[in-house]
Amino acid sequence: MANFRDLERLGTRSDDTVLFGVGWLSRDMKYATGEVAPNFYEKLTELCRNPWQPFATVGFHSCDLCQYDGVPFKGELYIPGQGRIYVSPVGVAHYIATHWYSPPAVFVQAVLDCPPMQSMDYKKKLLANGGRGLTRAFNEPSQPI
């Protein structure tokens, strides 16, 4: 799995959708640690249960921060907020719970403000935060990236 610094611009898609990474960790990088509020963690894990996926992902990633038997995970979270779309691996909840990862405050607030995945309110929030190109996936089958 790729690793990126928090809030690093992941690029611009051909439809001008700008994505910013959060929680793309690896053992070879430094990352912020600390406690997170229980309500944030509960909301994050709720969003991770059935994340909306605009693209098909290939394979699983095993956490390389774990000393042994890294937890496997697959998929990404697309969290709209503050005029941006934050993209995080679903494993971000594991990083927080097990490795004390502390995501940026803007991501925490975006998660707290995020409507339920798959809802019309979620789609509207994606649109309002620059995700017009991503919302086409609500009506189209997933395409490999």
Q: Is residue 107 part of a domain?
A: yes
Question: In sequence order, what DSSP letters do the residues of 84-115 get, joined into one string?
Answer: EEEEEETTHHHHHHHH-B---HHHHHHHHHPP
Q: Is residue 4 part of a domain?
A: no
pTM over 0.85: yes
In this structure, which amino acid lies at residue 9?
Answer: R
More confident residue, 137 or 22: 22
What is residue 57's predicted lDDT score, i.e. its pLDDT? Answer: 74
Percent of the chain with pLDDT over 70: 88
Q: Is residue 3 part of a domain?
A: no
Q: Is residue 17 part of a domain?
A: yes
User: Can you give the residue range of the structural domain that contains 87?
Assistant: 9-144
Quick: pLDDT tens for 25-73: 999 999 999 999 999 999 999 999 999 988 877 778 889 999 999 999 9
Question: In sequence order, what DSSP letters do the residues of 39-56 get, joined into one string?
Answer: HHHHHHHHHHHS---SEE
- Number of folded domains that form the chain: 1
Quick: pLDDT tens for 97-127: 999 999 999 999 999 999 999 899 999 999 9
**Alpha carbon distance 56, 64 (integer Å):** 23
CB 72 within 8 A of CB 95: no
> Position of tokens 């095993």?
62
Q: Is residue 1 part of a domain?
A: no
Q: Is residue 78 part of a domain?
A: yes
CB 101 within 8 A of CB 23: yes
Q: Is residue 106 part of a domain?
A: yes
Q: Is residue 2 part of a domain?
A: no
